[in-house]
Amino acid sequence: MRLFYGMILVAILGWTTSGITGCSSNTDTVSTEEHDDHNHEGAEHASHDHSGWWCNEHGVPEDECALCKTSLVAEFKANGDWCEEHGRPDSQCFTCNPDLFEKFAARYEAKFGEQPPKPTE
């Protein structure tokens, strides 16, 4: 019986620890390793929180944000989905295609029941 309770305690502590650090296998979060390779500059990006489902800075889900998760860049480029002028995927370039934001906003609204914040970058 003690073994059983010990295993439950270990499971709870493991879950709680990963929730506090923001690093987990949950697809709604991005692990620290995946965004150590940032190439953004400035204090604003340094304070950007990558632990949630949505990238407030760029207006797309964190796990799809090529600007924060630069390991995705090669795949976007290989698929011909890249805006050279703005250094981001064409499918995420709201400067060239402002209507694209509505596609991502609809996903946010379906998940959270409200409009997402406007991207800051």
Distance CA 91, CA 106 (A): 15
Determine the 3-state secondary structure of 87 from DSSP.
coil
Host H or E run for residue 54: strand 54-55
What is the DSSP code (8-state) at residue 85?
T
- Block means of pLDDT (10 residues each) for the chain, length 121 residues? 53 43 34 43 51 91 94 96 96 94 96 93 81
pLDDT at 80 (0 to 100):
97
Give yes or no for a contact between 59 and 101, defined as CB atoms under 8 angstroms apart. yes
Distance CA 8, CA 42 (A): 43
pTM above 0.85, yes or no: no
Domain residue limits, the chain: 54-121
- Rounded to 10 degrees, the C-alpha dihedral 88/91/97/103 comes to -130
Q: At a CB cut-off of 8 Å and minimum separation 6, what does 121 contact?
A: 45, 57, 58, 67
